[in-house]
Structure 1
Amino acid sequence: METNYSTVMMKPIDNVAVALTNIPGGTVVTVNCGGNTIAVELKENIEFGHKFAVAPISSGQDILKYGEVIGVAVKDIAVGEHVHVHNLEGKRGRGDRIVS
């Protein structure tokens, strides 16, 4: 069943959206961005301020939020999955990698 939970996705190139409230797993949310509407069934509970995939993300692929790269997927992430430290590695401020 689709509901009216609030989410935000700023750029059409983003592959994640952000929950603006706690949303229970199994909920179908409607994400609107740039004139496009995406229906996503959440695979698990998503807490306020947390991200979920709106498109499949392959291991090694950049994760885009607000039109910016925020990290890289460390494993495949399905549509509707929670995107957080268990499947995302940040690229900024690590200090242990040289980016060419």
Structure 2
Amino acid sequence: MTENRELHPKVEKSFELIGKRWTGLIIYVLMSGPKRFSELSETIPDLSRRMLTERIKELEEHGIVVRNVIPDRPIRSEYSLTQKGTELGKILGPISQWAESWVKD
């Protein structure tokens, strides 16, 4: 692999973001479609609500997740991946396949 010093900071920043605990799993779960906060919380039971809130905010700031307000009564919010998030999620699919083959429970 050739080293590109101009690319290095971007790659490092990317790995830092997706390497944070729970971030990849949140993106992976959202690949199946929009989810309400409670659905995300139920799908990832070991993830605290406080940490889920923190990670969702970070992903929103990076343009990976978007919060959609549904104006029904009562008003609800759903989280979904942006195009940028979907592209990132496509990369996580092969990682999950690798995990199924190589990571022990």
TM-score by length of 1: 0.27
Instruction: Tell which structure's C-alpha radius of gyration is larger.
Output: 2
More strand by share: 1
TM, length-normalised to structure 2: 0.26
